[in-house]
Amino acid sequence: MKNFKSIALALVALVTFTATAQKSKKVDASKSTINWVGKKVTGAHEGTITLKEGALIFKGKKLVGGNFTVDMTTINTTDLSGKGKTNLDGHLKSDDFFGVENFPTATLVIKSLGEKGNGVYAVTADLTIKGKTESIKFDLTVGKNTAETSLKIDRTKYGIQYGSGSFFDNLGDKTISDEFELKVKLVF
């Protein structure tokens, strides 16, 4: 009888451990999307950038973490064509902006999460762009096999000051907003 109790106790411990173990779900980069919008006084430009890899970490059905790498060399303007597109893509990849030759990737690592209900999480994460890491906050909505967010990033926190009215005077209609917007859909 003593052996039976030991086996039962071991099974309960195993089931408990299995139920609370963390599980990493790889994000399908080919099905996930990142769209960006950059604004200036005279209008805006928009485009895409490609997720290189990523994973969301769950404990049961609860999101508990995640990490992502973005391929900065894939910056792509979608509202222009021809020479205008080529010039803007090149400028965004240059050292004036994202310096992709020296910094080909950007990373985001989730540091903490708070549940807001209905699959919405308040996320605090470390975002690294151009080798500089800053903490950011945003809401993330998690479904059965997708996660979505819209967020704004202050580029000047990452040393990207080109055309910023916060750093340069007399830019007039050449002023570019310090923040750019991202709309992200992850499929896992």
Q: pLDDT tens, 110-157?
A: 999 999 999 999 999 999 999 999 999 999 999 999 999 999 999 999
10 falls within a domain: no
Q: Would you place residue 1 in the very low, low, confident or very high pLDDT band (cuts 50, 70, 90)?
A: low
- pTM, entire model: 0.86
Asked if the model's pLDDT at residue 16 lies above 80, the reply is no
Residue 77 has pLDDT above 90, yes or no: yes
State how far the alpha carbon of 33 is from the alpha carbons of 57, 118, 186, in Å: 19, 22, 7
**Does any domain span residue 157?**
yes
User: Is 124 a domain residue?
Assistant: yes
Beta bridge partners of 161: none
The whole-number average pLDDT for the span 36-47 is 96
When pLDDT is averaged across residues 73-81 and rounded to a whole number, the result is 98
In a domain, 11, yes or no: no
Assigned domain for 30 exists: yes
What's the pLDDT at 18? 46
pLDDT of residue 173: 77
Q: Which of 55, 49, 58, 32 is nearest to 149 (CA)?
A: 32
Q: Of the ranges 25-39, 60-74, 103-117, 157-171, which one carries the lowest mean pLDDT score? A: 157-171
What are the tokens at 117?
């209900």
Q: What is the pLDDT of residue 167?
A: 84
- Domain that includes residue 80, residue range: 22-187
On average, the pLDDT of the chain sits at 91
Q: What is the CATH number of the domain that holds 144?
A: 2.40.128.110
Tens digit of each residue's pLDDT (9 = 90 or more) over 146-176: 999 999 999 999 999 998 878 877 777 788 9
Q: Is residue 12 part of a domain?
A: no
Please state the rounded mean pLDDT for residues 92-117. Answer: 98
For range 9-20, the mean pLDDT: 50
Q: Give the model's pLDDT for residue 97.
A: 97
Residue 36 lies in a domain: yes
Question: According to the model, what pLDDT value does residue 3 have?
Answer: 57
Residue 85 is assigned to a structural domain of this protein: yes
Q: For residue 10, what are the CA distances in angstroms to 21, 23, 31, 60?
A: 16, 22, 42, 21
What's the CA gap between 96 and 89, in Å, rounded? 12
Dump pLDDT digits (tens) for 48-65.
Answer: 999 999 999 999 999 999
Stretch 73-96: mean pLDDT:
98
What is the number of structural domains in the chain?
Answer: 1
